[in-house]
Structure 1
Amino acid sequence: MQKPSPILHLQRRDPSRNMARFYCLSLESSLFGDAVLVREWGRIGTLGRRRLDLYATAAQAQDALRRLAASKVRRGYSSVG
């Protein structure tokens, strides 16, 4: 079994708009060998929401992770730690 990739933590804070959000992305493998992109998001301090996107190959999942991360950075999120 392939070990999971490191998790990418992003945050967006804007006190003037009372905004404190997080977005986490990670790559894992399913029980059936598919590549899974795990997306978690919500307000900082809450459990938030979770979505699993299945891909046929790890390369496709990695590409989707890069596109999502770039999109979030364009929207004002920044990397944490």
Structure 2
Amino acid sequence: MIAQPYQLYVERRDTVRNMARFYALSIEPTLFGEVCLTRRWGRIGARGQAKCHTFEREEEAVQLFLGLLRGKRKRGYHAISREPANRASTLASCALGDATGTLALKKDARMASAE
């Protein structure tokens, strides 16, 4: 069983060399109780290639995950967020708006029951 999900998506772009590459890593459980480190890579916008490394223990998969991450960072890959930058603030403001509205409704209900 995996203690926590591991996922990484990094890109390397160099317009001078016409380079636009992606590299993705994820650690997931298999149907047989093992752990699979899946690597996907290729040109951005293309399907790319994939390879799965199977391990008996999560720790072994995490060690390879971190080693591959270090190698990609040395080669100039950078983490890219797949969500819009302002999504977190939008979600936070929606949550605050919902909480404020709920509090106002509860306050109105208490006032109505007191009358």
Which band: TM-score by shorter chain? over 0.9
The alpha carbon displacement at 1:57 in A equals 0.3
Larger Rg: 2
Q: Could you say which residue in structure 1 is the equivalent of 2:70? A: 70
| Matching residue's letter, 2:30 | S
CA distance in 1, matches of 2:2, 2:64: 19
Misfit runs of 4+, over 6 Å? none
Q: How does 1:36-47 map to 2 (within 5 A)?
A: 36-47=36-47
The alpha carbon displacement at 1:5 in A equals 1.4
CA distance in 1, matches of 2:58, 2:3: 12
| Matching residue's letter, 2:74 | R
Q: Is the 8 A contact 2:25 2:65 kept in 1?
A: yes
Q: How does 1:1-80 map to 2 (within 5 A)?
A: 2=2, 5-80=5-80
Unmatched 5+ stretches in structure 1: none
Unmatched 5+ stretches in structure 2: 82-115
| Matching residue's letter, 1:35 | V
TM-score by length of structure 1 reads 0.93
TM-score by length of structure 2 reads 0.66
The alpha carbon displacement at 1:48 in A equals 0.3
Per-residue CA shift, 1:11-59, capped at 9, x if unaligned? 0000000000000000001111111000000000001001000011001
Aligned pair count reads 81
Q: Taking every aligned residue pair, what percent have the same amino acid on both sides?
A: 40
- Which structure exhibits the higher relative contact order, with contacts defined as CA atoms closer than 8 Å and separated by 6 or more residues? 1
Higher helix share: 2
